[in-house]
Each structure stands twice: as C-alpha cells, then as structure tokens.
Amino acid sequence: NAGVMQNPRHLVRRRGQEARLRCSPMKGHSHVYWYRQLPEEGLKFMVYLQKENIIDESGMPKERFSAEFPKEGPSILRIQQVVRGDSAAYFCASSPDPAGKSEQYFGPGTRLTVT
C-alpha cells in the first residue's frame, strides 16, 4: 500500500488561472479530507468527502473552491481564478472510517504558489 498520494507536489499558477490538486487515498479508504495550511498557521479543515458525496464542506470558501471524489479516480480539489491569498500547502488525508473513529493518513501535501 503506497499510502496517500498527492500530485503535483508543487504547483505554480498565475493569478486568475485554475489549480487542480489531486489526492489518491489509501487502498480501501473511502473517506477523504482536505486541509489547508497557510504560512504560520495550523491545518484548517476544508472539506470531507466520501465516494461520490460531499459530506461536509463547511470549511471551504464559498466561491472559487470545489471538491469531488468520483467513483473512479482520485479526489480533486479545484480552485478557480486563483489569487495570491490561495498560496498555501494543501493536505489530503484518508481513512477507512469517519474522522474520530479511526486514524487519518496524510499525504505529503501540494504546495501551491500563486504569482
């Protein structure tokens, strides 16, 4: 089991472009979480998904951000029309059960830089 995979590891986008961040959970895990870490801050919950369903997106900005976890393929965090303030490390975690019931396994993160 290769663990949670995230790609790309580093992503540079100009203001106004779109950023697509991918997360492949561990085999057998159907619960995926996305977190954002701004400089000098802790991890902030963004969204929790199960296969084909968004369960909780209360931590995600209402505009420009969206997430999906299709039946086949990785989970995608999409940021449209990126701004400088979106520059951050984005982490994905997966678990076989909902948060709190079992351990979350983290990916290495994607570092997004908006120029």
Partner 1 sequence: AQRVTQPEKLLSVFKGAPVELKCNYSYSGSPELFWYVQYSRQRLQLLLRHISRESIKGFTADLNKGETSFHLKKPFAQEEDSAMYYCALSGSGNQFYFGTGTSLTVIP
**In the complex with partner 1, which residue's Cβ is closer, 96 or 108?**
108
User: What is the biggest distance separating any 2 CA atoms in the chain, rounded to whole angstroms?
Assistant: 40
Q: Closest distance between partner 1 and the C-beta of residue 59, in Å?
A: 7
Of 90, 95, 104, the C-alpha closest to 7 is 90
**In the complex with partner 1, which residue's Cβ is closer, 49 or 82?**
49
**Residue 28 per-residue DSSP state:** T
Q: Closest distance between partner 1 and the C-beta of residue 17, in Å?
A: 28
Q: How far is CA 87 from CA 22, 32, 82, in A?
A: 16, 22, 9
What residue ranges bind partner 1 (CB under 8 A)?
3-4, 33, 35, 40-45, 48, 55-56, 58-59, 91, 93, 98-100, 103-108
- Tell me the C-alpha distance between 106 and 99, whole Å: 13
Q: Closest distance between partner 1 and the C-beta of residue 15, in Å?
A: 27
